[in-house]
Amino acid sequence: MTEVISLKPKRQNEDCPICGKSENHNFTPFCSKYCADVDLSKWLKGDYKIPINEEEELNGEPPDAGY
């Protein structure tokens, strides 16, 4: 018999990240479809952004000054 290991990390705070209510396991990590849709809307509008440094190239070094 093979043991199944869950790779899903356990969140520290089990509350909805949008409104703070207890999460509903049908909409994890949110409490409702409404809060899940609010979060999706924020992603689609660009409210959430991952900061980047355009000065650095993919290898992590700054580009040559001659360009």
Find the CATH number of the domain harbouring 21: 3.30.50.10
Confirm whether 55 is domain-assigned: no
| Beta-ladder partners of 22 | 15
User: Could you tell me the residue range of the domain that residue 22 belongs to?
Assistant: 14-49
Count H helices and E strands in the chain, helices first: 1, 0
- For the chain, 67 residues long, give each residue's pLDDT as a single digit of tens: 677 666 656 666 689 999 999 999 899 999 999 999 999 999 999 998 888 777 665 566 665 655 5
**Amino acid making up residue 5:** I
Confirm whether 66 is domain-assigned: no
Count how many domains the chain has: 1
Confirm whether 65 is domain-assigned: no
pLDDT of residue 52: 78
Confirm whether 20 is domain-assigned: yes
pTM given for the model: 0.58
Confirm whether 27 is domain-assigned: yes
pLDDT of residue 16: 95
Confirm whether 24 is domain-assigned: yes
